[in-house]
Structure 1
């Protein structure tokens, strides 16, 4: 059954109350028409519960806006949702990625994540190029998708909204990686489901790295909001020498401030019996939160990004295939994922809106049942990066 407006309804009952499902819920394709966003195709999802989100077809099918009952959850930066034709991934010594960085979900990869770095390309067997300069967080986020389809599908009295596309990161004398992405949400539901499949569609051994830059803004993010996670160990903090001086720890959110220097953590997370890792940001004042769930066997590492600067106020929850040490370290430690011809990796994630104090409490209890996070807001990082097996 579909739950709409506090009532359980069958497919026939939904149909009887309107000429089309689009009165309550649906997916529609539109094109942005002004400024740096001009020409970007966007899918708008409305579930009928108050959940609305948009998907940037021409930017890796990343999720742009997320809101619930008019309350924003996803973050917008000053850059806008820049058209990929205006993006230069190689610019500014590899840091031009930041000129197109905005939205709830920014996918990073497919063969590189984290800081710009020069790495070997010997696996591609091209004598003319021994190394390649990789830009910040890779190239996939600015690649338009080939839209395979979108719409609604009924299974009995339940209805799912969906979209699928293919994002291909390829070059001659290098990688040929395809990201097959499917996004779903149930009519009447408050959850977004993301299913990704990354395939090496070439015939050369190819490195693969990936992480999700999930960016949460105001009003979920405000002074007093809380970060909840099954943190077993705080491994690393980029800002270890200054984070107490800034007065900002890992779990309690301050108000925006001027002159804030970004902080990045890596946490070692525990998983529940199903192998899932739920992480949440919650705002008790307004009774709103977002819970992100990934699989430990797919994305074993977890970063937390804090940028509480006025005018760019954001927290990032960032599940990853690799440690924050980066591309070369993954190779040196034997932890790089090497995809042979037609080999693939799959990733499954859920983004659930927590609406009200009861849902926040239930999420917090489930997370704490997995592992009790450190009570100290300024834990000393252990520096112990667990080996990543099964590569």
Structure 2
């Protein structure tokens, strides 16, 4: 059970101590004028490589790929907020096919275009960090545009390093610093970290958000995690222990009865979003999963509700070309505009000098036994609690 759970605090401390005994490769460091281009290192059962991309809107974008022949191949982009493009293992792809096929350099994106929807012009990742200064649907408040899902995902990392532990299990850590620093507004900085042990079929995220300003500031985060074929298909299922589900808007009301199951690619299907209240164990640990119709493929996300108290389910079963995808989204907020989230008291605040952490574990499920194990964990947390279906959206944009 523990292999799918978010690492406990003692484990996090242990990993931090282990980093003292790690070999570090700094690829970007704006403070010290370090900017490495194409780069590669190879060890036993792994390769870590950085590539600089050229041509089109991806000119100057960078990707880092961890390859473990017996485990996973994981690709992320330091240029795009350390977002995860995709992962693959056991012949199963984690991610989706967006109409956006390039790793778009943020220099080519205007977040306030399309009435605040410019973020969509680069959206194709398996994992997007929506935040941290704000998130949710776009809105304008007192003349200021709050664009879709904040700025972190379109902020190139100011510091990037690869750390490889010199002691078993020889974990690989990819670190990246995302700075949301604006004169008179905010100075939020997030040190992201992806940790992976070669040969395994799961990886962990440990992100630390720090307020470097002298004033308290609001923050929000949604870990927008997106999956498609071969797991998503007609008859695929969403699994999670929850106490309540409600439609995001009136359109989603039509899908409330079948909110846990999926259609195949369906032309004319608009996105349906559901707000969930996750249940957790006594320590706040919980898990959500997507599994295919035959229960032999899936993906699970473990997180802690003390850090990420709400869960959003995004169902976008449109055509394959348009973007056939579903999103499992642990967060501090739902996807309503920031003014609605603030009015409903889901916007959190971070004090000067304070840090808050977010820990998630992503696991590939490649056979029936692994799927069954996750289903058992979910059922244990759910227990006898009935899922309350609320037909009226909790807010209206």
| Structure 1 length-normalised TM | 0.84
C-alpha distance after superposition, 1:75-131 (max 9, x if no partner): 1311132111111111111011111111100110112111112236xxxxxxxxxx5
- In the other structure, the counterpart of 1:381 is 391
Contact 1:50 1:70 in 2 (8 A): no
Q: Work out the CA distance in 1 between the residues paired with 2:192 and 2:252.
A: 40
Q: Which has the higher contact order (CA 8 A, sep 6+)?
A: 2
From 17, 31, 45, the counterpart of 2:66? 45
C-alpha distance after superposition, 1:263-303 (max 9, x if no partner): 00001110023311200001253721100011101110110
C-alpha distance after superposition, 1:307-348 (max 9, x if no partner): 000021000001110244431133334443222221222100
- In the other structure, the counterpart of 2:365 is 354
Q: CA deviation at 1:374?
A: 9.3
From 137, 148, 163, the counterpart of 1:115? 137
Q: CA deviation at 1:240?
A: 5.0
- In the other structure, the counterpart of 1:99 is 121
Who wins on radius of gyration, i.e. which is larger?
A: 1
- In the other structure, the counterpart of 1:33 is 54
Q: Could you list the runs of 5+ residues in structure 2 that have no partner in the other structure?
A: 1-40
Aligned: 1:343 with 2:343: no
- Equivalences, count: 352
- In the other structure, the counterpart of 2:200 is 189
Q: Could you list the runs of 5+ residues in structure 1 that have no partner in the other structure?
A: 1-19, 121-130, 386-391
- In the other structure, the counterpart of 2:94 is 73
Q: Work out the CA distance in 2 between the residues paired with 1:316 and 1:164.
A: 24
From 316, 320, 328, the counterpart of 2:331? 320
Q: Work out the CA distance in 2 between the residues paired with 1:248 and 1:26.
A: 46
CA separation of 1:46 and 1:274: change in aligned 2, threshold 3 A? farther
**Which moved further from structure 2: 222-231 or 256-265?**
222-231
- In the other structure, the counterpart of 1:14 is none
Q: Work out the CA distance in 2 between the residues paired with 1:364 and 1:291.
A: 10
Q: Work out the CA distance in 1 between the residues paired with 2:80 and 2:206.
A: 16
Contact 1:225 1:283 in 2 (8 A): yes
Q: Work out the CA distance in 2 between the residues paired with 1:98 and 1:320.
A: 19
CA separation of 1:242 and 1:321: change in aligned 2, threshold 3 A? closer
CA separation of 1:249 and 1:137: change in aligned 2, threshold 3 A? same
Q: CA deviation at 1:34?
A: 3.1
- In the other structure, the counterpart of 2:243 is 232
Contact 1:229 1:373 in 2 (8 A): no
Aligned: 1:141 with 2:153: yes
Contact 2:252 2:274 in 1 (8 A): no
SS of the residue corresponding to residue 158 of structure 1 reads coil
**Which moved further from structure 2: 342-351 or 320-329?**
320-329
CA separation of 1:324 and 1:241: change in aligned 2, threshold 3 A? closer
- In the other structure, the counterpart of 2:218 is 207
Q: Work out the CA distance in 2 between the residues paired with 1:136 and 1:384.
A: 20
Q: CA deviation at 1:373?
A: 9.6
Contact 1:26 1:161 in 2 (8 A): no
Q: Work out the CA distance in 2 between the residues paired with 1:365 and 1:294.
A: 17
Q: Work out the CA distance in 1 between the residues paired with 2:134 and 2:98.
A: 23
Q: Work out the CA distance in 2 between the residues paired with 1:43 and 1:241.
A: 37
SS of the residue corresponding to residue 185 of structure 2 reads coil
From 263, 269, 294, the counterpart of 1:260? 269
Contact 2:250 2:393 in 1 (8 A): no
Q: Work out the CA distance in 1 between the residues paired with 2:394 and 2:55.
A: 48
* Residues 145-224 of structure 1 mapped to structure 2, 5 A cutoff: 145-155=157-167, 157-224=168-235
CA separation of 1:375 and 1:336: change in aligned 2, threshold 3 A? closer
